[in-house]
Amino acid sequence: MEGKNVTETPTTSAEPLAVDIPAYPTPRASGCPFDPPPRQRELQAEAPITKVRWWDGSTPWLVTRYADHRALLADPRVSADSTHPSHPHRAAGMREAHLKHGRPFIRMDDPEHARLRRTVTAPFSVRRSEAMRPAIQKMVDGLIDDMLAGPNPVDLVEAFALVVPSLVICELLGVPYSDHGFFQENSKQLVLRDADPQQVAEADRQLLAYMEHLIDEKLAHPGDDLMSGVAARVKAGELTRDEAKRIGQLLLLAGHDTSANMIALGTLALLQHPDQLKIVRETDDPAVIAAAVEELLRYLSIIHIGHPRAALEDIEIGGHLIHAGDGLLLPPETANRDPSVFPDPDRLDVTRDARGHVAFAFGPHQCLGQNLARVELQVVYSTLYRRIPTLRLATSFDQIPFKHDATNYGVYELPVTW
Amino acid sequence: MRVTIDTERCIAAGQCVLSAPDVFDQSEDDGMVVLLNPSPPDELVADVKQAAALCPALAIMVEG
């Protein structure tokens, strides 16, 4: 137990010693890539609200229990504004970049956040997302046809997991899928934990320039896609061009990387839990599939490290006083493994009621595309294993490259055969 | 049971529609919550409570 055998040094200061503050984040245990880092679970049990040492030397609060996690994410005294001086950025230079070049609305507070978000909420309603199901089913079936006719083994990430959500978000936004190489490559830079600030800035600039061009296209040739709607709001003076570009960039990024990770990592989790895979593969009940999707969202909770926040006022919670101006890190992967809410939380159980999970976050910033993601995942999980019942890994489990260096957790490759 | 909603707080997450589709809907214009039935029958009470518990914006209030 490192950090517990440190000899106490006398101090005259009321400030805690640096050695008392655990470093964060810590690595996942080898051999347990689906589980949050063991140190986070220890803190959840022993010190569920505690200061941690962040990469830049700052000491934000790490909050690891479900109830506190939800309470703080829904608390109007907690800010998501990435230009706040205490907002825990994941890499150097990001606050300056956000101040200078702007930021997506997920990094703003209400009322600005609400104003911008509401311009794109309609296409992501339950009904509109559900209306895309037949098209998504057709897409998934076509991709599986191609996979079965193509090379075997194949990398499921490249051939399927990344393609499904990219096709869907392109269709929804009105972005040509032929540009997917460009936006996937640039998006990668934006989710690396320890990204080089200059590369992030360049990727950001490229994606914004792409959106600028797309908005011009949509103004000249409007269609019935989402970005035509955004362009129309620019024309009507409801959005600035910069706001519109940021919205397009955010939706394109959030729309493909997250679902791709859920498809590939979810498939790997099911392959490693054959009894659970059997339930998913053999059911023809949409409710069973829907429950399995919620449980995989809970179990995998792919947005790792923690939602970055800052306290705007003093907040009393769990016997602690979080001061105005303190930074906060709220990791969903430990909240979703809170044993007081999800009994036997490390067990993947696709039959449990996992609907209360926080994989899509909580509070006013909860995932805009969650219902589209649900439909995508329901279609994928109900189709892939049924159509390829002999699907299995084409490599050993310990050879699979996990995204330990990304904020959106998943696998870089998933070689499969059948 | 008496249900009230706060459309100002609503963020169009749609959790209420998934939980209790006979009680909640979303506006075509902006996805914001539409209350279909402020006095849902007893058999829907559990679903409505689930909707209130899952609402990320805490925009659903339930009495009785």
The Cα A267–Cα A232 span in angstroms is 40
Contact between A125 and B14 using a beta-carbon 8 Å cutoff: yes
Residues A56-92 pLDDT 10s = 999 999 999 999 999 999 999 999 999 999 999 988 8
pLDDT at A8 over 80: no
Q: Tell me which architecture the domain covering A18-417 has in CATH.
A: Orthogonal Bundle (1.10)
pLDDT at position A3, please? Answer: 39
- Closest residue of chain B to A369, computed from CA coordinates: B13
Q: What is the pLDDT of residue A5?
A: 41
Interface touch A125/B57, C-beta < 8 Å: no
What are the start-end ranges of the E strands in A57-135? 61-63, 78-79
- Nearest Cα to Cα of residue A59 among A318, A312, A315, A325: A325
pLDDT digits over A229-280, tens only? Answer: 999 999 999 999 999 999 999 999 888 889 999 999 999 999 999 999 999 9
Q: Is the ipTM of this complex over 0.95?
A: yes
Residue A15 has pLDDT above 70, yes or no: no
| A114/B13 CB distance under 8 A | no
Residue A192 reports pLDDT greater than 90 = no
Terminal-to-terminal C-alpha distance of chain B: 5
What's the CATH code, domain B2-63? 3.30.70.20
- Say how far apart CA A135 and CA A129 lie, in whole Å: 11
Residue A189: what pLDDT? 79
Give mean pLDDT, residues A11-15.
43
Q: Which residues of chain A have a Cβ shorter than 8 Å from any chain B Cβ?
A: 73-74, 114, 117-118, 121-122, 124-129, 355-356, 360-364, 366-368, 370-371
Of residues A200 and A411, the one with the higher pLDDT is: A411
Instruction: Inform me whether the pLDDT recorded for A171 exceeds 60.
Output: yes
pLDDT at A55 over 80: yes
pLDDT at A17 over 70: no
Structure-token match 């810590």, residue found: A26
Minimum distance, in Å, between the CA of residue B31 and any CA atom of chain A: 5
Q: Which residues of A touch B54 (CB under 8 A)?
A: 355-356
Query: What's residue A194's pLDDT?
Result: 74
Domain boundaries, chain B: 2-63
pLDDT tier at A19 (50, 70, 90 boundaries)?
low
Name the nearest CA neighbour of A359 among A23, A15, A36, A6. A36
Q: How far apart are alpha carbons A374 and A248 in whole angstroms?
A: 21
Percent of chain A clearing pLDDT 90 (strictly above): 83
